[in-house]
């Protein structure tokens, strides 16, 4: 629709990613492309009704972990494109978006380096008992427990996406052997310095298990009590992917009982961590606040690339849409014509 002066009316874009703000370079990029922006940063839990209200009259949305449910898509009748400033899509009901004619994009590999470095940080943190040692000193003590060296140890990667691949050279630099369990086809696996094995073999052999797979119905509670029972009593678990891949009750019980040595979790099934979480108060389990991809470099790249992808999607040319190829070229709904694109 054109404005009164004959120029196209601005496209309305909602930005909920919490590190993006009015007047920043992402905002200026969107405004320079003819978009009217509104910022409603998600910090914590949001009332779904607030999100539905915020999306009224909006054509595009740039989001982080905003829950985009079927009810949200049904209410947002003008919405044409959603872009997550991250790599996962589990917070978005992609099937509902497809039915509504809304393109959904993610940014594969956008924070791989940040996640890989952070993963090695968690591995070192667990191996050298840094968190309990610092806590002991803060409490007036002087803990001197031994840790373990990484050289000669085995790191098991669950999943082999961009972040896991970026972990490999870092782990190898520390002298670790790297195993991986993945659904990636053999022809696409790459470097020979990784040995690909079934999950059960990986769990039994690894000194540290690091989770990098996507959350899907098949991977929800992939690491349940039976899987955790395969780990060595000296093994540690690191998770920078999605919390629900791990059965948190089973993990807490395993660590508390000494069946595994401990865990460092950057993600949990519910975020922020609930007061009644089974993970609270378990010696050996450290929970952080979903920070793996939160570097200045990764945030900047995600914001800019997310904005560019949103503009391309609104123009009918999404580059990393999960569903544009599934949206029919015409629709009986009242929405504008949906996007077309290629599968990723």
Contact 103, 325 (CB under 8 A): no
323 CB-side CA count, 13 A? 22
How is the chain split among helix, strand and coil, in percent rounded to 5?
A: 35, 15, 50
Q: Distance between CA 269 and CA 277 in Å, rounded?
A: 9
Alpha helices in 100-176 (DSSP H): 112-127, 130-138, 162-173
Which entry of 242, 299, 305, 309 is annotated as an active-site residue? 242
Q: Distance between CA 255 and CA 260 in Å, rounded?
A: 5
Which entry of 38, 52, 271, 340 is annotated as an active-site residue? 271
Contact 292, 87 (CB under 8 A): no
Preceding peptide of 152 cis, ω within 30°: no
Which entry of 248, 290, 299, 309 is annotated as an active-site residue? 290
Q: What are phi and psi of 259, to 5 degrees?
A: -75, -25
| Nearest in space to 16 (alpha carbons), one of 295, 303, 289, 274 | 303
Contact 208, 238 (CB under 8 A): yes
Measure CA of the first residue to CA of the last residue in the chain; give whole Å.
Answer: 31
Instruction: For residue 242, indicate whether it is catalytic.
Output: yes
Name the 3-class secondary structure at 128: coil
The tokens for 342 are 């290629």
Strands 103-105 and 81-84, sheet pairing: parallel
Beta bridge partners of 36: 12
Return the active site residues.
242, 271, 290
């Amino acid at each position: 629709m054109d404005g009164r002066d004959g120029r196209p009316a601005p496209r309305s874009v909602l930005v909920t990613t919490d590190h993006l703000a009015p007047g920043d370079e992402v905002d200026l990029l969107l405004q320079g492309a003819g978009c009217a922006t509104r910022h409603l940063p998600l910090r914590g839990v949001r009332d779904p009704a607030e999100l539905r209200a915020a999306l009224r009259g909006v054509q595009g949305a740039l989001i982080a972990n905003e829950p985009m449910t079927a009810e949200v898509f049904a209410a947002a009748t003008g919405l044409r494109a959603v872009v997550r400033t991250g790599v996962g899509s589990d917070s978005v009901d992609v099937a509902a978006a497809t039915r509504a004619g809304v393109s959904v994009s993610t940014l594969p590999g956008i924070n791989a380096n940040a996640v890989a470095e952070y993963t090695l940080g968690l591995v070192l943190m667990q191996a050298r008992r840094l968190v309990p040692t610092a806590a002991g000193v803060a409490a007036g003590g002087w803990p001197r427990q031994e840790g373990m060296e990484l050289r000669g140890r085995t790191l098991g990667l669950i999943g082999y996406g961009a972040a896991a691949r970026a972990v490999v050279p870092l782990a190898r630099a520390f002298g670790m052997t790297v195993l991986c369990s993945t659904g990636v086809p053999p022809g696409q696996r790459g470097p020979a310095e990784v040995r690909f094995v079934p999950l059960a073999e990986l769990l039994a052999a690894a000194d540290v298990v690091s989770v990098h797979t996507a959350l899907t119905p098949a991977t929800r509670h992939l690491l349940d009590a039976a899987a955790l029972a395969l780990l060595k009593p000296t093994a540690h678990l690191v998770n920078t992917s999605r919390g629900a891949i791990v059965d948190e009750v089973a993990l807490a019980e395993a660590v508390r009982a000494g069946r595994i040595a401990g865990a460092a979790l950057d993600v949990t099934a519910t975020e922020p961590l609930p007061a009644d979480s089974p993970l609270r108060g378990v010696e050996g389990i450290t929970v952080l606040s979903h920070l793996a991809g939160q570097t200045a470099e990764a945030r900047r790249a995600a914001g800019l690339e997310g904005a560019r992808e949103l503009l391309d999607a609104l123009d009918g040319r999404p580059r990393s849409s999960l569903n544009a190829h599934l949206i029919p070229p015409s629709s009986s709904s009242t929405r504008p014509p949906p996007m077309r694109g290629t599968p990723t």
